[in-house]
Amino acid sequence: MTQLRFPENFVWGAATAAYQIEGAAGADGRAPSIWDTFSRTPGKVFAGHTGDVACDHYHRYAEDVALMADLGLRAYRFSVAWPRVRPAGTGPDNPPGLDFYDRLTDALLARGIDPIVTLYHWDLPQALADRGGWTVRETAEQFAEYALAVHGRLGDRVRTWTTLNEPWCSAYLGYGNGVHAPGGQDAGAAFRAVHHLLLGHGLAARALRAAGAQVVGITLNLADVQPADPDSPADAAAVRLVDGLHNRIFLGPLTGAGYPDDVLAHLSRLVEPDFLRDGDEKLIAAPLDLLGVNYYSPTYVAGRAGGAGSSAYPGSAGSVEFLPPGGPVTEMGWLIEPAGLTRLLERVGADHPGLPIMITENGAAFPDDRTDELGRVADDDRVRYLDGHLRAAHDALARGVDLRGYLVWSLLDNFEWAEGYRKRFGIVHVDYPTQRRTPKRSARWYQEVISRNGL
């Protein structure tokens, strides 16, 4: 195989999220989030799993940072738990909650690992959910206040801030089809949530920059939407609808182009857009220094009268068919197609020139049922997946995309939301009963990639 080198200063790292790894759900003044409530609701999460203990990272962060240093990570993307920092969602702050992120940041910097902070990775304080959550404007306003509180504590050491992680999931899975917390099932609520999430981003991004943050961005799980038949006009229309609901509804307002007309027309058929106020689009279009892209799998659609659509895409039933995977899949059932990452990066790069991109998540769940002679999980399927996607990222670089870094999802096996602990994405195995961490073969492979700055 050809030797592939990445640019000098390419950022190599790994990502996690607070509710998925921290545990310590009731410690030091943390209040419940929507995920605490949801996971304790029978039938919502596989086998009743919760994030109560998770990887106990709250208590074991020093060991985890040492592990990151051993693997040679240059950056670590973690999220801050809003209900740890502001248990009521609004002020006052909870100093012990901020202390934890303070210790974590110092531990990372002491090992030469750049902290990349995500302010919202789905764990909305329950107190705010009780007042309407992301369906109401107050949550967006409170998000900016909370962002400032975190920046006030960490801003002297953290350079890179991302506001939201994957608002598509928060809105459509959280309020549209009910698969994620808080479990709403209402198309109108999903679109309200999209707007207030974007508004929250805009308000927070402006506040962070005014407070001196150097790099401000957002992470989207953009979709590479492809037609079943490239020559079919009906399939092209299906691609346009799904692309509008997944990508352009976020990218348009974020980059100053506002909501696309076709998307507005579509959502107006499902909800009275009375939540859109004059001036909001301007607020959302706060300048971005970085776009985080999370990519796992492409999406293939066909345009078909009577198509089943998907509950995650409000208004898609009746005209769109989502195709089952036509090739190898991960344990999540997600099609493995690295070329989708190249296509997606090229498209974003071409549509938004001058906007630096970082792959803020990419990785795969596999059964991890084989060990090698050293007792490590022999996850060659994960190595192949990561290798293929890094080659795809390199292809995008070679075609001129301004790609700044790659963060593997995930450092540790963790709480995979509605799937509980049964799906493992980590490059480090976690034995939940003992909390023992053991790097998998993929972790050692990634360590080599980082040290060679290439493949």
Active site residue 346: no
CB-nearer residue toward ligand IFM: 94 or 170: 170
Closest CB to ligand IFM among residues 4, 345: 345
Residue 205 CB, nearest approach to ligand IFM (Å)? 20
Considering 22, 281, 321, 361, which one is annotated as catalytic? Answer: 361
- Taking the C-alpha atoms of residue 102 and residue 95, their distance in angstroms, rounded to an integer, is 10
For residue 64, which phi and psi values (nearest 5 degrees)? -70, -40
Shortest distance, position 136 Cβ to ligand IFM, whole Å: 24
Name the one residue in this structure whose structure tokens are 């073969």: 441
Q: Which is nearer to ligand IFM, 18 or 128 (CB)?
A: 18
Tokens of 328: 């190898």
What is the footprint of ligand IFM within residues 133-192 (CB under 6 A)?
Answer: 166
x/- string (CB under 6 A) for ligand IFM, residues 292-321?
A: --x---------------------------
Select from 410, 297, 292, 455 the least CA-distant residue to 359: 292
Q: Which residue is nearest to ligand IFM (CB)?
A: 17
Q: Which is nearer to ligand IFM, 180 or 195 (CB)?
A: 180
Residues 345-384 that bind ligand IFM (CB under 6 A): 361
Contact set for ligand IFM, span 209-268 (CB under 6 A): none
d(CA 406, CA 220): 14
Q: Is the CB of 140 or the CB of 164 nearer to ligand IFM? A: 164
Total of residues contacting ligand IFM (CB under 6 A): 8
Minimal distance, residue 173 CB to ligand IFM, in Å? 11
Interacting residue with ligand IFM among 409, 421, 445, 446 (CB under 6 A): 409
Question: Min. distance of Cβ 121 from ligand IFM in angstroms?
Answer: 6
Least CB distance from residue 319 to ligand IFM, whole Å? Answer: 27
Asked about 166 being catalytic, the answer comes back as yes
Kindly state the smallest distance separating residue 221's Cβ from ligand IFM, in Å. 6
Residue of 22, 166, 337, 416 marked active site: 166
Q: Which positions from 2 to 41 touch ligand IFM by CB under 6 A, shown as an x/- string? A: ---------------x--x---------------------
Catalytic residue numbers read 166, 361
The residues of the shown chain that bind ligand IFM, judged by CB under 6 A, are 17, 20, 166, 294, 361, 409, 416, 425
